[in-house]
Structure 1
């Protein structure tokens, strides 16, 4: 895949209760808010599970990440649909003649509220 500086890549996902349960088993993040539903029957999605949205885009482009920065702004609940917009900030050859990439991203819920923002950088394999 080819990317260009200024390009925006979008990925969307709806988190399910099953996603939270599976991530709880894998991560051992068993905070009460992840294993006990609220009064609406929702579970809080683990922050690092939410953070898989921008890493999915990185995976699509075979990015070997060097840095990842996350700022968690609001909780995400099971049933929420989150759109992740990844912006290509820099794409060039590094000092070892490898394709280096720098990005920023913003994740927005179905209520148009930002829930996560950050950046990642690395090289493309």
Structure 2
């Protein structure tokens, strides 16, 4: 899988109550909004669970992250389908090393085309 500047990689996930429950157990993030449904029967998805979307793309390309920047724009609820578009901004071989550096930005939107998360990450690919 070769990357180049300008590539856009897309991944989507529909978050379920099971996702939130498992992440609650693993992270210890037990805010009442993550364990008590709202008036529509939905749970609020943890921000860092939502942030697994761009990290999943990074994992697909074996990125060893050095920096990650997240801006959480609006809540994500169980039942929401979030589409994450990662854009490769920089991709180059590191001089004298057998690895490449990468800088990517991302934007995540819900099924209503509302932005929920944006940010960037940088790292190396070994």
Shorter-chain TM range is over 0.9
Could you tell me how far 1:93 is from its partner in structure 2? 1.5
> Does 1:112 find its partner at 2:113?
yes
Q: Which portions of structure 1, spanning 4 or more consecutive aligned residues, are displaced by more than 3 angstroms?
A: none
User: In the alignment, which residue of structure 2 is the partner of 1:123?
Assistant: 124
User: In the alignment, which residue of structure 1 is the partner of 2:36?
Assistant: 36
Unpaired runs of at least 5, structure 2: none
2-side partners of 1:95 and 1:43: how far apart?
A: 47
TM-score (structure 2 length as normaliser): 0.97
Unpaired runs of at least 5, structure 1: none
SS in 1 for 2:53: helix
Give the number of equivalent residue pairs: 125
1-side partners of 2:65 and 2:28: how far apart?
A: 24
SS in 2 for 1:22: helix
Equivalent residue runs for 1:1-125 within 5 Å: 1-97=1-97, 98-125=99-126
* Root-mean-square deviation (Å): 0.7
Could you tell me how far 1:50 is from its partner in structure 2? 0.1
TM-score (structure 1 length as normaliser): 0.98
